[in-house]
C-alpha cells in the first residue's frame, strides 16, 4: 500500500492545485442543483475558506469531498434562511387596532394611575402584592420566601389592596 506524500493541504501549492481542480466543478454542481439566486460563486469561495481553515485536518484525497459537502450544506442553509425571510415578509404586522382612541387613552391613564399607586405602597406591601398577583405565588409560599408568617403576608396584601382601591378609586 502506497503512503500518501502529504498528510494535509496547508501548503500553498497543494491548496492552490485543489482549488484550481475543483472550483469550476463545484460551482457548476451548485448552479445546477440550486440555481443562481443563492449565489453559488459565494458558496464556492466560502467552502474553500473553510477548507483552508481546516487544512491541517483534511488530507488531499478527502479535499474534494470536504468542499462539495461544505458548499452543499452552505447552500441548504441559505435556502432555509431564504424560506424564513420569505415567510416573515408575508406576515406583515398589523398597524392598526380595533380599539378607539378614547379607549386607548383611558387605558394609558389607568396604567399610569396603577403605577403611581403601586409606587405609593410600602415596600413590604408592594413585594407581597406583586409576588401574589404578578408571580401567582400563594400566601404560604410568600411567607416562606420572606421568612414571615402567613398572617403577616395576608395583612400586607390586604393592606396593599385597600390602599390601591383608595388611590385608584376604579378597582
**How much is the pLDDT for 41?**
92
**How much is the pLDDT for 53?**
93
pLDDT tens readout for residues 82-102: 888 888 777 766 666 677 888
Q: How far is CA 121 from the centre of its chain?
A: 37
pLDDT beneath 70, residues of the chain: 1-6, 92-97, 170-171
**How much is the pLDDT for 2?**
47
The angle that helices 63-90 and 40-53 make with each other, rounded to 10 degrees, is: 130
Nearest to 145, CA basis, from 33, 159, 156, 41:
156
**How much is the pLDDT for 96?**
65
Q: Are the beta carbons of 163 and 120 closer than 8 angstroms?
A: yes
Q: Are the beta carbons of 51 and 70 closer than 8 angstroms?
A: yes
> In the structure grid, which three cell numbers stand for residue 107, read together?
387605558
**How much is the pLDDT for 113?**
86
**How much is the pLDDT for 108?**
87
Q: CA 88 to CA 83: how far, in whole Å?
A: 9
**How much is the pLDDT for 155?**
94
Q: Are the beta carbons of 7 and 59 closer than 8 angstroms?
A: yes
Q: CA 146 to CA 107: how far, in whole Å?
A: 33
Q: CA 171 to CA 168: how far, in whole Å?
A: 7
**How much is the pLDDT for 5?**
56
Q: Which domains does the chain have, with CATH numbers?
A: 12-90 (no CATH), 111-168 (1.10.10.10)
> In the structure grid, which three cell numbers stand for residue 16, read together?
492552490
**How much is the pLDDT for 31?**
85
**How much is the pLDDT for 158?**
93
**How much is the pLDDT for 20?**
94
The model's pTM is 0.50
Q: CA 38 to CA 76: how far, in whole Å?
A: 9
Amino acid at each position: 500500500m502506497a503512503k500518501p506524500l502529504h498528510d494535509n493541504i496547508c501548503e500553498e501549492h497543494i491548496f492552490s492545485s485543489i482549488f484550481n481542480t475543483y472550483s469550476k466543478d463545484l460551482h457548476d454542481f451548485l448552479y445546477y442543483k440550486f440555481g443562481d439566486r443563492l449565489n453559488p460563486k459565494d458558496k464556492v469561495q466560502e467552502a474553500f475558506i473553510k477548507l483552508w481553515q481546516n487544512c491541517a485536518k483534511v488530507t488531499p484525497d478527502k479535499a474534494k469531498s470536504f468542499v462539495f459537502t461544505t458548499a452543499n450544506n452552505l447552500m441548504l442553509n441559505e435556502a432555509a434562511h431564504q424560506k424564513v425571510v420569505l415567510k416573515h415578509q408575508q406576515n406583515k404586522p398589523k398597524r392598526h387596532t380595533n380599539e378607539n382612541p378614547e379607549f386607548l387613552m383611558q387605558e394609558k391613564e389607568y396604567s399610569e394611575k396603577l403605577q403611581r399607586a403601586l409606587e405609593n405602597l410600602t415596600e413590604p406591601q408592594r413585594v407581597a402584592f406583586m409576588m401574589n398577583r404578578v408571580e401567582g405565588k400563594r400566601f404560604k409560599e410568600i411567607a416562606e420566601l420572606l421568612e414571615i408568617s402567613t398572617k403577616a403576608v395576608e395583612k400586607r396584601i390586604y393592606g396593599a389592596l385597600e390602599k390601591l382601591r383608595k388611590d385608584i378609586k376604579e378597582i
